[in-house]
Amino acid sequence: MHWVREPIEGILENAEIWVCVFDAENSQRFAEDNAMNLLACFVDPEILCELANADGVDPGDMFLNQFIPDNPSLKSGDIGEIISKILLEGWFDLPKFPGYRWRNKSHRNEPIQGPDLIGYVVNDPEKPSDDDVLILVETKTRSASVKSRIAAIALEDAIKHYISDLANSLLFLRSYLRTSGLEKEATILDRFTSPHNYGRYHKRIIPTVVHNQSSWDDDYWTELPGEYVSPDGYDPSEEVHFILVKIPNLPEFMDQICQAAAEKVNDD
């Protein structure tokens, strides 16, 4: 796959637009290389094996049949978010997204509320800095249906979560990390809860669209505004990176990476 920065005249001219394009070969390689990352987002592999052994079933079959949603739109949404997480953790300044929101379900077809991904970039894990970056990602996935406003909706929902849900979502994420034994990650997120106590930091909003390559239409860009307008007015510490990920035969790719995860957990 390759990344291209794609400035578009009259569209989000105060933001950055990036396009990541897969081809058939690197789609297969990505699925093979990241199969266990996908599995771990849904369930700890060791716990999966313990559950499967207790029930006398194959761990790979349990993963496919009891953890992966069988509702097509929910499956597409969950896996699209995980693709975003994997890609962004390899992004230019290597953000970290420590939560596994897809594990917090009571049923595989349960939708998850709140921002899709909350992460950070920090220079020093021990000491807050005004160079620290809090990251909010909203991912929209289109593997079968199409919607001309999909890019605009991704931006609008990212702004909505930034305004109304971020503080509460940060609270629950920090609680989840601490109860999961991830104290270091929770402590890093603490510094983003109060600029008065920990100092100022930067904010990065990343609306992301994961789209079936053949059904993407560049006219969809025109639904986006000419500029990003911060909910708080002009804020030089706030930035927007819009990301479009185009994958050939996205429904088949999603099945491929799920199947690869099931095979790998059995092999291990």
Length of the chain in terms of residues written: 268
Q: Give me the residue spans of the domains in the chain.
A: 2-267
Full-model pTM = 0.96
Within the chain, where are the H helices? 24-42, 45-55, 59-62, 72-88, 150-164, 166-179, 183-190, 195-198, 250-267
Closest by CA position to 98, among listed 127, 121, 130, 131: 121
Question: Residue 60 in contact with residue 262, Cβ under 8 Å?
Answer: yes
pLDDT of residue 130: 92
The mean pLDDT values, 10 residues at a time, for the chain of 268 residues are 93 97 93 97 97 98 98 97 97 95 95 94 95 97 94 96 92 96 97 92 96 97 94 83 97 97 91
Ranges assigned E (strand) in 173-237: 202-212
Per-residue CA distances from 213 to 18, 27, 249 (Å): 15, 12, 7
Closest by CA position to 132, among listed 202, 33, 214: 202
pLDDT of residue 233: 72
